[in-house]
Amino acid sequence: MGLELYNSKLENQLIKACIEKDGKAQRAIYEKYVPQMYPICLRYVKEVSEAEDVMITAFMKVFDKMHTYGGHGSLGGWIRRIMINESLGYLRRNKTMYLEVDMEVADREPNLQLVEDHLQTQDLLKMVSELPMGYRTVFNLYAIEGYSHKEVSKMLGISENTSKSQLSRARGLLQQRLLESEDIIKSKMTNHE
């Protein structure tokens, strides 16, 4: 409790200093949150250099708008929303965010226990990052960030039904990739026997 109170007090001091454009305070906030925020940008903007640019632009907005942070919710959550919005803005400005249609449905369910025992979190995140942009964006917003289909539809300028269908197709494609991974795992296990 004491450490949490100290961290909260220190963060409040840093916020006030950031509002006053104190470079050291901005650097402290940046260094504290960059490890959490960069992966968020990278989930939406696949190219490393572009994701870095988006993150830096978003941090500039964080510091420029720090005076609007009202202390409701965590500072990290507030910064996260800015990162997501900046990533989506980048996609709208620089990428043709097309929404995919048709795809084949997997003919069986993956053995999740087998896959879970042999795949790392990074493997699963890589599968998500390899989804087509429309699928990936909706999947990230809904399944990872926790936005509702209504919120996703507003953020992306699409209908709720389009959001739902993109999520369904993303899940189907991920299911296919999990099945492929399962087949590879089983093949390796058979070869080692």
Asked if pLDDT for residue 191 goes beyond 80, the answer is no
Give 126-166 pLDDT, tens digit per residue.
888 889 988 999 999 999 899 999 999 999 989 999 999 99
Q: Give CA 1 to chain center in angstroms.
A: 30
Domains of the chain: 2-94 (1.10.1740.10), 112-191 (1.10.10.10)
Q: Helices 121-129 and 160-191 sit at what angle, rounded to 10 degrees?
A: 130
3-state class percentages of the chain: helix first, strand second, coil last, to nearest 5:
75, 0, 25
Which pTM does this prediction carry? 0.72
Which of 14, 40, 46, 39 is CA-nearest to residue 27?
A: 14
Contact by Cβ (8 Å): 29, 36: no
Give 45-88 pLDDT, tens digit per residue.
988 999 999 999 999 999 999 999 988 888 999 999 999 999 99
pLDDT at residue number 87:
94
Contact by Cβ (8 Å): 45, 94: no
What SS3 state is found at 107? coil
